[in-house]
Amino acid sequence: MVLLNLALLLEPRLNVFVVDTDLLFPETYALIDRVERKYGITVQRVHPAQSVAEQNATHGDALWKSDPDACCDLRKVAPLRDYLRGFDAWMTALRRDQSGTRIEIPVRAWDESTQVVKIAPLANWTEDDVWSYVRENDVPVNTLHYDGYPSIGCTHCTRRVAAGEHARAGRWSGFDKVECGIHVA
């Protein structure tokens, strides 16, 4: 949300989108609505090729339980890759302090998966920097952040984080998985 706020200050007609897996939390959908009202924009929702019911019919019920990598590929990675065709670049709010897998992310790099330049303007920001900016600039955030969810994804693959756990411990609990695949080279 900080990246969106900063980017819209520079380019109010920015193309803004969200990969909508159709499995997001109600609080996430409410945030999208608040963002559209606050900034006077339309957030384009990028959906997977298959509905959840179609995915269940093709791959079995609750693919996220049996093969979360495949589920993320179908519901997140492929839709993003398809959507970004025709664009030269996209911006992401990745930060180096978010996890060990992100510690060396470049601010600007060629993204093989999407075949566009991937820009991470907040790469050097800290979590404290983000929350300071949110407070100082009245940036809307997902209310789940105040309820034990420092990292938010799909409903079936995200849980509250217990005291002392890493911020991304609530993602894909019980699996040896730390990224959905969008930010993996």
Q: Which long-range contacts (CB under 8 A, 24 or more apart) does 49-53 make?
A: 49/74, 49/78, 49/79, 49/82, 50/74, 51/22, 52/22, 52/23
Gap between the Cα atoms of 146 and 142, Å rounded? 8
Q: Is 180 a catalytic residue?
A: yes
Catalytic residue among 71, 72, 154, 180: 180
Gap between the Cα atoms of 125 and 134, Å rounded? 13
Write down the H helix ranges in the chain: 2-10, 26-39, 52-59, 63-66, 68-72, 78-83, 127-137
Residue with tokens 């991304």: 168
Q: 165 CB contacts (<8 Å, ≥6 apart)?
A: none
Residues labelled as active-site residues: 180
